[in-house]
Copies of this chain bind each other. A is one copy, B any other.
Amino acid sequence: MKITPSLPKGTRDFGPDELRKRNYIFHVIRSVFEKYGFQPLETPAMEKLETLEGKYGEEGDKLLFRILNSGDFLKDVPPEDLNSRLSSKISHLISEKGLRYDLTIPFARYVVQHQHEITFPFKRYQIQPVWRADRPQKGRYREFYQCDADVIGSDSLLNEVELILIYDEVFDRLKMQDVSIKINNRKILVGIAEKNKIADKLASFTIALDKLDKIGADEVKKELAERGIAPDSLEAVIKVKNLNASEKISFLEKYLDDSETGKAGLNEIKYLLAQASACAKLEFDITLARGLDYYTGTIFEVKANPARAGQMGSIGGGGRYDNLTGVFGLPGVSGVGISFGVERIYDVMEELKLFETINLSANTTRALFINFGGEAETKAFQYLQQLRANDIPTEIYPSAEKMKKQIGYADKKGIPYAIFVGEEELKNNTLQIKKLSTGEQTRHSIEEIIVLLKK
C-alpha cells in the first residue's frame, strides 16, 4: 500500500482559486507601490548565515532554516567537535547558508553591497516568501509572503506621509474601508520615559506598553512593576489614550514641554496629521509602541476593525529606522518602511466576503467548445483559434466524451459558456452557445459569438 504524499508541516499548496485571490491582493499593492515611484527588488531565497545570524535576536537565530552543505559535509568537521554532540556548534560547521527570514535584512545587505550603483533616496518594494521554523498554528505558517516598501537615504518626513497615503490607497482599493492606520513616534515615548525618569528602561517600557490593547492597564502595570518600573509611569499614556484627537496634542504639548526629544516627536506627529489630513483612517495612538528595537522615529501599525473582522490584530506595520545598514558597515543611513500582512489581509477579506465583489475571472476561460469528435472537432478547433485571435480565453474539451462530463468540466471550472458545433451547425456555418447559469441557448455566426464573448 502506498502512502499518500504530504507537505512539510506549516507549508501550503495554493490551488487556482486561492491563488487568484492572493494574486489580486499582490497586484493591488504592487500597482500602488509603482504609482508612488517604488521600484521592484528580488533577492535570493538563500543568504549566507553570516548575513542572517545575530539580526533577529536569539529567538530569531533558532528559527532560521539552515541549509546543509553539499557533498561530504562532515569531511572537515574535527572529530572532537562531532563527539561533543552539540547541535548549535556543529550546525555552523556543516551549514553556511540559510533561508531568508524577512525582507528587511536582505534589503539592507543589497543596499550596502550595491551602494555605489544605487541612486538615493532609494525607494524599493519587495514581495517574496520568507521562512521561519516557528511552531505552526492557525494563521501562522513556516513559509509566508512579506510585502515591504522602504525609502532609504532620506530623513524627510514627506516619506512618512507618502507611506500613509499608500496604506490609505491600498485598503481603499481592496474595499477594506474599516481599518485604522495608527501612528506614533518613538521620540514621544522617549519623552514620556524621560519625564518618568525611566529613560534607561525604555525597551522594557515599550515592550510592556505594546500589550496594553491585549491585556489591559492593570496587567501592564503589574508587568512594569516586575521590570522595576513605577506603575504610575503609565498614567500619562492612559490619560492621552482617552482624549480626543486635538486634546491629545495640547495635553502632550504641555506634558513634554521640558523634553527636547519628546517635543521633536510630537512635532513630527503634528506634521503627519496635517499633511495626511485627507486620510480618514489615520489615527495618532500613543499606546502604539512596536517591539522592534531598531525603530527611532515614526511607527506605523494598521488594524482591521475587530467588530467586523474578528480578532485579526495587525495587518500592517513599519516605521523609521536610523541605522539599518550599520550592521553591514554602512552607518548613518536613515530609512522608513511599511509592510503589508498579506496572509491576514486575505483572511479579513474572506471573512468580509470582499472577494465576491471583485472580478477575479477576468483572464479565465470564457467558453468551452464541446467536443463531438471527427469533422465537428476539426471545425470547432478552427473556431477556437478565431476566438483566441481576438484574445478571448477559450478551451475545447480534448476528447469526445459524454456531454455530461464535458459540461461538468465547464461547471467545475467556472466557465460561463459552452459552445456546440454539431451536424446542424456544420451545415449552416453557425455555432450554438449556451449560458450555463441560465440554460439559455442561442445560435449565432462566429462573428456574433466574438462580439458576445468580448463583452
Contacts and interface: CB of A to CB of B under 8 A. Distances in A.
A72 B86 CA distance: 8
B73 A91 contact: yes
A222 to B, nearest CB: 32
A114 B396 contact: no
B70 A68 contact: no
A7 B40 contact: no
A200 to B, nearest CB: 29
B35 A388 contact: yes
B74 A70 contact: no
A13 interface: yes
Contacts of A365: 37
Contact of A14 (B5, B34, B42): B42
Contacts of A395: 36-37, 123
Interface in A68-89: 68, 70-75, 82-83, 85-87
A113 B34 contact: no
A147 interface: no
Contact of A65 (B51, B67, B86): B67
A34 B97 contact: no
Interface in A114-145: 114, 117, 119, 121, 123-124, 129, 131, 133, 142-143
Given A8-B48, A44-B13, A45-B129, A393 B112 contact: no
A357 interface: no
Given A8-B44, A37-B413, 7 more contacts: A14-B43, A37-B365, A37-B395, A45-B129, A65-B70, A67-B68, A74-B85
13 contacts: A4-B329, A13-B113, A14-B42, A15-B117, A34-B364, A37-B394, A46-B142, A65-B67, A74-B85, A74-B87, A121-B398, A123-B395, A158-B377
